[in-house]
Chains A and B, each alone.
Chain A
Amino acid sequence: MSGSPALLPSGTPDGDVASEGPGAAVRWRVVDPAGTTRTRVGGIGDPGTLLLAGPPAGAGGDALDVHLRTWGRLPPGDGAGVRALLRASGLDGRGGGGFPLARKVETARFAGGRPVVVVNAGESEPASRKDRALCAERPHLVLDGAALLAAALGADEVVLHLHRAPGTPAPVLERAIAERGRRGLPDPRWRRTAGPDRYVSGEASAVASFVDGGEARPRFTTVPLAVEGPSGRPTVVSNAETVAHLAVLARIGPDAWASSGVPSSPGPRLVTVTGATARPGRVLELTGAATVGEVLLADGNPAPPAAVLVGGFAGTWVREDEAWQTPFTRDALRCVDATPGCGLLGVLPHGACGLAETARIVRYLAGESAGQCGSCVAGLPRLADACDALAAGTLRRRGLRRMASLGEAVLGSGACGHPDGVIRLIRSTVAVFEDDVAGHVAGHRCRGSDHPPVFGVPAPVLPVGRDDTREWT
């Protein structure tokens, strides 16, 4: 499992990785000879990283040269070989849902017809930076991975989807595509789309709708997108980090790649740290069963914070003692009712109020609804009001009970998971900040109420009703 640098599955043409990428697989191998995975947390170019391995991208210059020196060319292979790699690796989606990419691909192939392949690099989660960092620093890994995904699906075109927002990696990807064209790499046709910069516009069915010429709003679907998307064709939407992993595991082999994670969460994983940490917005790569504490230590937090928001703004709070020692893996996080989500770790410092932070996030998320389903239109503004009142210390026991039943009415009733994410956040808030909630409903605002805002939550759009006049195209 650990001895050979490149372990391509049988049936996959052996690309002789070592000769094409001089020592690449050996240099970045993360499994020691005994077969035990080292636990590592690293930033761009740090030893032990895979996705972030190699020198930081300089301004300008030919990134493709650096990329090929580090990784070599993609081993030649056909669609069946890539699908075998996907199955053997167990690669899970890194956009938030965690759905195995191999199953999406098999579903689309079973459905038949010419599939639509979309790589979502829009990263609509406001505090997340991992996809932006990856596209800016390692654009050719993302493009290699996208080309492999297209091959797995027999598609000749890939849609690269971004948001219309300042600071997107669009220019970097554009340069990288031009470099590859000049070098004659066997790429699919690249189509670029740029959608509205809204939270729900990053949801898979919203992305699929937008790239088909429709609105970037979630759709009500009764069959998976991979069976039939808005265009009527099977549609595979995959996150930018997910496909970049595919580019790595095609070179070092699925076993070596998977063993740099743990069996329940194969492969390494990118996270973004935000909130009260040394460098909010910093992107780190996790290897092995690195704990949340190890990640926070790596970003200069010597002791457990008050609590950590795990998985995204619509994620879950985990209390200090639990968070610090919990490995950032799917199985371990499940034990504290969290999921890796989009890889966000939000640090709440001692002395800040988790209820106040939650209230700001819920208000923002309520305004980011697409305004389509009753649960969001009627439910979320009321939940945001309740969270504001709870943070301000004006909500009483009865109001808290009303908030809980409102949450139950909203849960699972939308076309997409947006309202459910808000409910999940509120439920974990009430559970984790139990003592603060008791104090607030008794009318005692906690000491943290005057603490300056911790998370960079964008200003909320006012909750809109059915007469939504915002542009969605």
Chain B
Amino acid sequence: MSVEIRIDPILCRGHAICALFFSDGVDLDQWGFGRVATATAGSPRDVRRARRAAAACPNGAFVVREREPNPGAPPS
């Protein structure tokens, strides 16, 4: 099972705690605001770390969602 990772740039205050828990998955800019290096996590270890990072974010900016197959796309 894989999950989708997003950092809401409006909620992010640059605490950079997500990078402590999930250093492989998060890049920090020069002010400490996080950016996800990989938009999805596949391995159980990465999924675990991503969930920990989400739980630790004081602003709820780190979002982990179950991946839906192709959400919202119209049939082509």
Contacts and interface: CB of A to CB of B under 8 A. Distances in A.
Interface of A: 103, 106-107, 109-111, 219-220, 222-224, 227-228, 372-375, 378, 406, 409, 413-415, 466
A339 B13 CA distance: 33
A219 B12 CA distance: 13
Contact of A374 (B9, B63, B74): B9
B58 interface: no
A109 B74 CA distance: 8
Interface string B8-37: 111111100000000000000111010100
Contact of B74 (A107, A223, A406, A409): A107
A106 B76 CA distance: 10
B42 interface: no
Contact of B10 (A103, A224, A227, A373): A373
A111 B30 contact: no
Contact of B12 (A106, A109, A222, A374): A374
B6 A222 contact: yes
A221 to B, nearest CB: 10
Contacts of A222: 6, 63, 65
Contacts of B69: none
A373 B71 contact: no
A111 B70 CA distance: 12
16 contacts: A109-B74, A110-B72, A110-B74, A111-B72, A222-B65, A223-B72, A374-B9, A374-B12, A374-B14, A374-B29, A374-B31, A378-B33, A409-B30, A413-B9, A414-B9, A466-B13
Contacts, number: 55
A375 B32 CA distance: 11
Given A223-B72, A374-B13, A406-B30, 6 more contacts: A220-B8, A220-B9, A223-B71, A373-B12, A378-B31, A378-B33
B73 interface: yes
Given A409-B30, A413-B29, A413-B33, A372 B72 contact: no
B32 to A, nearest CB: 8
A103 B65 CA distance: 26
Which secondary structure dominates chain A's binding surface? Answer: loop
Nearest to A412: B35
Nearest to B71: A223
Contacts of A220: 8-11
Contacts of A111: 72
B30 to A, nearest CB: 6
Given A373-B10, A413-B9, A415-B9, A227 B31 contact: no
A373 B9 contact: yes
A413 B73 CA distance: 24
A103 B72 CA distance: 12
A219 B11 CA distance: 10
A224 B10 CA distance: 17
A149 B14 CA distance: 42
Contacts of B14: 374
Contact of A375 (B8, B33, B74, B75): B33
Contacts of A378: 31, 33
